[in-house]
């Protein structure tokens, strides 16, 4: 854990105290245990979990600096990344996790219970359905997704959930900048505008990584998102 503490501080100015570390150790242990039964993530060793899950989740801090989200929605969260490590970091954060795969949503609920986290809502649903519900539509100051879909698909999942003036954050691999540029028309259609692309450096990870930030400048037209499956079949 010393390496994770050092990297989090040096790369993202994230200070991990004793309580954070204890929570992350518990999270890691539960993830390894559940993974043997349910195949929640392809990353199975401790070192990789710390770098490719925990540290990668903390990289989101580069997007907001000293002004963390008040109400964050994490779409396609899988085993809780990046949402749950960010909640461990920011106890005041109101967090909604969205996951369409039942066993992954169940694991997230389990971790929330085990760690005693409050103000976390785990929803077993698809983003397209959630985007039309009044209690979720344009209710979040930040919406985040990591490795869920191409950018022109992702904007239709996320932007309907972001309030005007809020931000969508996509954690992307090396294709991030190209994807962001090709999705600019889709962003505009949904009320968004490409704001910034930030490079992320993870120790021991050769692939380039990026944070793509999209500012929500206008309301999303009522017909979006289209019905479940449509954004994937016919990207904007």
Residue of 7, 95, 24 lying closest to 59 (CA atoms): 7
Q: How much is the pTM?
A: 0.96
Say what the pLDDT of residue 44 is.
Answer: 79
Phi, psi for residue 171 in degrees, rounded to 5? -90, 120
Question: Which residue range is the domain that position 159 belongs to?
Answer: 67-233
Answer yes or no: is 31 within a domain: no
Helices (H), 14-132: 18-38, 46-48, 56-58, 61-64, 83-89, 102-115, 127-130
* In-domain check, residue 88: yes
CATH (domain of 182)? 3.40.50.150
In a domain, 43, yes or no: no
Give me the pLDDT at residue 135, please.
97
115-127 exposure pattern, b = at least 16 Cβ within 10 A, e = fewer: bebeebebbbebb
Answer yes or no: is 179 within a domain: yes
How many domains does the chain contain in total?
A: 1
Residue 23 · residue 115 · CB < 8 Å = yes
pLDDT in tens, the chain (236 residues): 999 999 999 999 999 999 999 999 999 999 999 998 887 888 878 998 999 999 999 999 999 999 999 999 999 999 999 999 999 999 999 999 999 999 999 999 999 999 999 999 999 999 999 999 999 999 999 999 997 899 999 999 999 999 999 999 999 999 999 999 999 999 999 999 999 999 999 998 888 999 999 999 999 999 999 999 999 999 99
């Amino acid at each position: 854990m010393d390496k994770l503490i050092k990297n989090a501080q040096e790369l993202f100015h994230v200070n991990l105290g004793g309580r954070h570390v204890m929570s992350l150790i518990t999270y890691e242990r539960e993830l390894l245990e559940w993974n043997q039964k349910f195949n929640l993530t392809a990353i199975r060793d401790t070192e990789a979990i710390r770098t490719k899950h925990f540290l990668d989740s903390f990289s989101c801090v580069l997007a907001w600096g000293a002004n963390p989200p008040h109400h964050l929605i994490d779409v396609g969260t899988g085993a809780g990344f990046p949402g749950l490590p960010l909640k461990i970091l920011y106890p005041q954060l109101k967090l909604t996790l969205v996951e369409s795969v039942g066993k992954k949503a169940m694991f997230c609920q389990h971790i929330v219970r085990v760690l005693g986290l409050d103000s976390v809502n785990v929803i077993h649903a698809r983003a397209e359905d959630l985007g039309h519900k009044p209690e979720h539509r344009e209710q979040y100051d930040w919406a985040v997704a990591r490795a869920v879909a191409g950018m022109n698909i992702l904007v239709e999942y996320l932007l309907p959930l972001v309030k005007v003036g809020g931000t969508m954050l996509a954690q992307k691999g090396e294709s991030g900048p190209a994807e962001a540029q090709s999705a600019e028309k889709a962003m505009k259609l949904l009320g968004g505008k490409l704001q910034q692309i930030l490079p992320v450096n993870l120790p021991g990870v050769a692939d380039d990584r990026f944070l793509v930030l999209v500012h929500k400048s206008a309301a999303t037209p009522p017909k979006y998102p289209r019905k479940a499956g449509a954004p994937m079949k016919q990207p904007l």
